[in-house]
Structure 1
Amino acid sequence: MDTEKSDEFYRKLKIQLEETSSWPTNYLYKFIVPTDGERIVQIHKIFDNTGAVIESKQSKKGKYTSLSITVHLKNPDAVIEKYKEVGKVKGVISL
């Protein structure tokens, strides 16, 4: 599959979010990033001024960093918008 998420994926995600959550709500993102200060800073900037709580943890060997980001969002479109922004950062895996 293409590393870029398809429109179909986001369409299904939006429906799922609408059905399983009442909005606005806190949403938890989880990402795996190669441990590279620049990439981690890029993700932090995407969530700047959103009130997000960002927790990071390096893998045992330090090669990767997991980021757990909890942020209060107004609707499923806002969730998808952030996924698309983070998706532009090279090497990021969304969980």
Structure 2
Amino acid sequence: MNTDKFKNLRYRLMESESWPLKYMFKFITPNQDGKVEQVKALLPEHGELSFKHTASLKYVAITCVAIMNSADEIIDITEQADRIEGVLIL
């Protein structure tokens, strides 16, 4: 678990007193080797997904807005995405 890496995110999320809340995940991933599908598979099924490709189609920005029930849910998805090589978390 990479909890230290996401300590600031966890802290900011824990400050929120109104759960569940609407959260926006943003990732940039290389458009190769099924990485877009890997990231998509991590995101909540009930979330609103949008994709934006770079002009060269080399990278894809993935945005997902979803109602999340806890900071742990958000951190878990973020940590899993962080394990995919080449994925940037915004």
2:2–2:79 contact (8 Å) kept in structure 1: no
Q: 1:40 aligns with which of 36, 45, 62?
A: 36
Distance 1:47 1:58 in 2: 18
Gaps of 5+ in 1: none
Output the TM-score relative to the length of structure 1.
0.82
RMSD: 1.9
Aligned length: 90
Gaps of 5+ in 2: none
Which has a greater percent of helix?
Answer: 1
Output the TM-score relative to the length of structure 2.
0.86
Q: Identity over the aligned pairs, expressed in percent?
A: 22
Shift of 1:87: 1.2
Q: 1:92 aligns with which of 68, 87, 90?
A: 87
* Other structure's SS at 2:34 match: helix
